Amino acid sequence: REAITVVVERKNPKTGQVFRYNGRTDKVIRKGGDIYIIDDKVTSSNRIYSDKWLQLAAYGKGFRLGYSRTLNYNNIKLRVVQRDHDSTVKNQQEKEFDHLLEQFLNQNFMLFEAIYNKAFVPEHHNNANKCRSCSFDCQWRLAEQNKG
């Protein structure tokens, strides 16, 4: 079991602009010929949101790009383990890193890159709780406005 650093690099064929996405996994293990990328989270919720699968899909793609030439394996499996504050496992789910998850990842990469390049302006969610958890300093910052 070890954490590894993964990288996904994307180049825009029209502009030549390069986006480099780096991440560090919580755990990577090999079991029965498969690679398991495991993300541990301490949470009070039992729900696993799509952004967690997006993060793990990026790890899966980065692992495949960085290690497939030097390591033989059958499949890459992504696992989310949710724990209570006392480290008791409350929930865990697993998905195989397949073409559907990779397509989901690529769509999100393209969306982020379009926002970064100002080719797309997203609509604001108008939710103060989401603003409080966001670290992006945008013009809509509802959390700051609601601090009386």
Residue 72: pLDDT band with limits 50, 70, 90: very high
CA distance 59 to 32: 20
**Is the pLDDT at 148 greater than 80, yes or no?**
no
- Give the ranges where 21-137 is alpha helix by DSSP (H): 50-67, 99-116, 128-133
Q: What pLDDT score does 89 carry?
A: 92
Bigger pLDDT: 34 vs 114:
34
Out of 3-12, 74-83, 114-123, 124-133, pick the least confident. Answer: 124-133
This prediction's pTM? 0.82
